[in-house]
């Protein structure tokens, strides 16, 4: 084998991975070498003869393992965005090995002894806030990874973590297989009600799969428009059942995996002295404890159900006019809601989409970033990227390049569903300045010809992920472990959800929302209709989100998941909560990747609503100022939220920006629940 590129210096612009040189077979031998290299670094820190200091312990730990992290970030990104059977095999093999290596590092007795010693002296070390937070973070991560456990408990904890990595990887791969394999083929007789943009995307999807006619996939940007516009109720039901049945394929049923994951998580929490995994997970977030999450959700759940029932009454009236059954089923809701939207608000999604071409919306979000934060984006056409659909931009501020931004916006079979931000490298200055490489992933249905047109929900998604991207690009900290997206999960959604607000700023729309064929600006009356209808269907959307959140919490609040029947538990909880059958849930447990494809959002799906409370308060400051680009507020937004990362305590940082602690009332009003 030629020299392994994963073990070489990358003499590429921004040290971008040399994608064209990297093969799946490079990863396993590279990781074996990089594991040994990282462990040797920690061994050396533990063996230092001089007394432990912040610099030779916490700061040195932040500088360690960089080449391993580089390879792991690359693997994480490729297996999410451009995977293959060979890469999936690497992912399966490496999942447990990576977890085992992490346990070796975070249970390193010699290094932890030095870390524990300086942590005990932290108040006398004259550390600044960022240094103190780094020391606290590393110490907390070691403790939460089992560093204080002894004997059999120590060994068992490492075994549990390794097995969880294996199971969560398998769960995610099963969902991806279901999403990539399924299509609903359509012929000329099946197209009733479908608008041109959907027909174009469905034709392109069929061609990509070498199928005749048209094809609906399980990408949200394909399935939701089909459920919204198709007048074929039988096909809507077929599509809905495939969409909500992901993870239940007989050959790759995720329910047994979810049961094992829950059981191991409960054991993991008990080993560390927590009553449940929910207690363990939420202790590391802003909420602090499950009780705080329940307090928030209790303000939402009953008002959301009441709002849902009023919406259902509107849909029943519309169903009667259309001759549709009065017994509304989940596969009817999107279709009937669109009819009500047109009838009551004169707002037709097919009328909206021509004004929201993807290219124009990318220009809009770059414009917003320029006006708020002084950023400029220069596209790079000379970089070798991992797929032809991916684009790259140099990002500059005050005349200096501060980041590389990648945009990967289209759905494909080799890419998992959903939308997300990730990095190929974190920002930091410890040991030398490193600029972040940030990637945004969406799953828009690519047009067969002409512009890819977005629904307004798609536009919000684009701006949401760009908010995450800005969080990564604007990070301005000393230590990479504190880089902006490395924040508590119920705070990290604030920059993303906040950015969605600028998608509806009138001057942004006037400049960028241009008709795909005529180039005309979106009419003011159409914008007014979008705003007038923004509370419509919020009962449905909130119930679906809150139901998934509450079931996530209920699953992880169990103190022992042995013997749990996932399907029976879901049914029982939905009945206990009173989840309206016609609403359903955003995610059912068998395909709930947020909580079962990894642990970042486990017992944490609530974080979107927690951050929404912060977001409603934050954008409220701009509304009160009467200027969505108020320079003073924009500067504070940069300093206290987008650039600060975990270098500032989040409550204090938000208070410094807003001048007060957040209250839920603004969020409830924004959802129309007040």
Catalytic sites, residue numbers: 465
CA atoms within 13 A on the CB side of 64: 24
User: Encoding tokens for residue 551?
Assistant: 């079931």
Rg (CA), the chain: 25
Whether 224 contacts 202, CB under 8 Å: no
Give first-to-last CA distance, the chain, whole Å. 65
CA geometry: angle 412, 78, 72, nearest 5 deg: 160
Q: 649-657: long-range contacts at Cβ-Cβ below 8 A with a sequence spacing of 24 or more?
A: 649/129, 649/133, 650/286, 650/487, 650/488, 650/491, 651/286, 654/494, 654/614, 654/617, 654/618, 657/618, 657/621
Q: Of 502, 674, 480, give the one whose Cα is nearest residue 70.
A: 480
Would you tell me how many other CB atoms lie within 10 Å of the CB of residue 530? Answer: 17
* CA 309 to each of CA 296, 303, 665: distance values in angstroms, whole numbers, following the listed order: 21, 10, 22
**Interatomic CA distance for residues 113 and 119, integer angstroms:** 10
* Neighbour-count burial for 30-60, b at 16+ CB within 10 Å, e otherwise: bbebbbeebbebbeebbeeeeebebeebbbb
What does residue 214 show for φ and ψ, rounded to 5 degrees?
-130, 155
DSSP 8-state class, residue 14: G
Phi, psi of 386 (to 5 degrees): -85, -10
Could you give the count of Cα atoms lying within 13 Å of 329 in the half-sphere of its Cβ? 11
């Amino acid at each position: 084998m030629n020299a392994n590129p994963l073990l070489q210096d990358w003499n590429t612009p921004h040290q971008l991975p040399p994608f064209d040189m990297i093969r799946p077979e490079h990863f396993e031998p590279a990781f074996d070498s990089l594991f040994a290299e990282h462990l040797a670094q920690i061994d050396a820190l533990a063996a230092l003869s001089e007394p432990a200091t912040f610099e030779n312990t916490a700061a040195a730990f932040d500088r360690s393992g960089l080449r391993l992290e580089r390879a792991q970030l690359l693997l994480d990104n490729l297996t999410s965005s451009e995977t293959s059977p060979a890469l999936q095999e690497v992912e399966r093999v490496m999942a447990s090995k990576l977890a085992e290596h992490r346990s070796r590092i975070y249970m390193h007795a010699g290094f932890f002894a030095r870390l524990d010693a300086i942590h005990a002296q932290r108040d006398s070390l004259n550390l600044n806030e960022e240094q103190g937070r780094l020391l606290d973070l590393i110490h907390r991560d070691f403790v939460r990874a089992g560093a204080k456990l002894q004997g059999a408990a120590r060994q068992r904890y490492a075994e549990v973590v390794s097995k969880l990595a294996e199971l969560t990887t398998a769960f995610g791969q099963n969902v991806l297989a279901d999403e990539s394999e399924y299509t609903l083929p359509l012929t000329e007789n099946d197209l009733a009600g479908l608008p041109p943009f959907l027909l174009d995307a469905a034709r392109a999807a069929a061609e990509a799969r070498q199928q005749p006619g048209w094809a609906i996939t399980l990408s949200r940007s394909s399935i939701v428009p089909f459920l919204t516009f198709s007048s074929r109720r039988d096909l809507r039901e077929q599509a809905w059942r495939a969409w909500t049945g992901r993870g239940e394929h007989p050959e790759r049923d995720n329910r047994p995996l979810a049961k094992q994951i829950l059981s191991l998580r409960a054991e993991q929490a008990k080993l560390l002295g927590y009553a449940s995994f929910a207690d363990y997970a939420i202790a590391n977030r802003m909420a602090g404890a499950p009780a705080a999450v329940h307090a928030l959700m209790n303000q939402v759940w009953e008002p959301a159900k009441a709002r849902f029932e009023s919406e259902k009454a509107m849909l029943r009236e519309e169903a009667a006019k259309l001759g549709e059954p009065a017994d509304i089923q989940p596969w009817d809701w999107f279709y009937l809601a669109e009819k009500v939207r047109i009838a009551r608000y004169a707002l037709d999604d097919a009328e909206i989409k021509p004004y929201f071409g993807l290219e124009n919306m990318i220009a809009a979000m770059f414009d917003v970033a320029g006006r708020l934060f002084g950023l400029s984006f220069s596209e790079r056409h000379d970089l070798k990227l991992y797929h032809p659909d991916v684009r790259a931009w140099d990002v500059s501020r005050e005349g200096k390049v501060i980041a590389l931004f990648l945009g990967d916006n289209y759905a494909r079979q080799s890419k998992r569903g959903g939308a997300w931000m990730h990095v190929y490298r974190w920002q930091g200055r410890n040991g030398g300045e490193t600029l972040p490489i940030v990637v945004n992933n969406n799953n828009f249905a690519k047009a067969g010809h002409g512009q890819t047109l977005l629904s307004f929900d798609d536009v919000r998604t684009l701006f949401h992920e760009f908010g995450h991207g800005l969080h990564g690009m604007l990070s301005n900290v000393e230590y990479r472990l504190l880089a902006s997206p490395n924040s508590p999960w119920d705070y990290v959604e604030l920059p993303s959800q906040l950015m969605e607000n600028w998608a509806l700023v009138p001057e942004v729309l006037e400049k960028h929302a241009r008709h795909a064929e005529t180039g005309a600006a979106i009419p003011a009356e159409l914008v007014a209709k979008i705003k007038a209808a923004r509370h419509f269907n919020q009962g449905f959307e909130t119930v679906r989100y809150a139901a998934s959140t509450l079931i996530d919490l209920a699953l992880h609040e169990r103190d022992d998941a042995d013997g749990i029947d996932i399907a029976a538990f879901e049914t029982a909880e939905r009945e206990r909560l009173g989840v309206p059958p016609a609403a359903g849930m955003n995610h059912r447990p068998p395909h709930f990747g947020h909580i079962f494809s990894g642990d970042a959002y486990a017992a944490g799906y609530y974080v979107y609503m927690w951050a929404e409370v912060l977001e409603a308060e934050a954008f409220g400051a701009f509304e009160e100022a009467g200027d969505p680009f108020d320079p003073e507020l924009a500067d504070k937004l940069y300093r206290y939220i987008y650039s600060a990362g975990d270098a500032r305590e989040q409550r204090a940082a938000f208070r410094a920006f807003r001048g007060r602690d957040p209250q839920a009332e603004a969020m409830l009003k924004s959802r129309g629940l007040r």
